[in-house]
């Protein structure tokens, strides 16, 4: 996990706050939190159908790209950047796919 995340990564979600009846941005996670979740087995499953995912590179321009990741549970929109010799995830916005309204 650490190899693909830029140290300045910001990952967050959007969620519905029923008390205010509005959509809000969630608290951001950073590269350290993401690496720790991976190390701790967060999101790991033994069910093969839940381990499948689709990665679509939406566009690339010089040293930046937009990528969509669809897994059993999540839809992620990523911004990645080529920094030095590698490509790194810089921004990630995700939402649970449960009850998804559109493909």
Q: What is the pLDDT of residues 47-74, one digit of tens each?
A: 877 778 899 999 999 999 999 999 988 9
Tell me which residue of 3, 63, 65 sits closest to 34, measured CA to CA. Answer: 3
| pTM: predicted TM-score of the whole model, two decimal places | 0.83
Domain definitions of the chain by residue range: 2-96
Fold of 2-96: Nuclear Transport Factor 2; Chain: A, (3.10.450)
CA 56 to each of CA 36, 60, 67, 71, 79: distance values in angstroms, whole numbers, following the listed order: 26, 11, 6, 12, 12
């Amino acid at each position: 996990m650490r190899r693909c995340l830029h140290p300045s990564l910001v990952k967050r979600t959007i969620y519905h706050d029923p008390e205010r009846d509005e959509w809000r941005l969630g608290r951001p996670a950073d590269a350290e939190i993401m690496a720790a979740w991976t190390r701790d087995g967060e999101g790991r499953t033994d069910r093969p159908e839940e381990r499948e995912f689709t990665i679509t590179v939406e566009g690339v321009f010089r040293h930046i790209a937009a990528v969509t990741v669809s897994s059993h549970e999540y839809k992620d929109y990523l911004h990645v950047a080529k920094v030095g010799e590698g490509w790194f995830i810089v921004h990630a916005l995700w939402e649970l796919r449960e009850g998804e309204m559109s493909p």
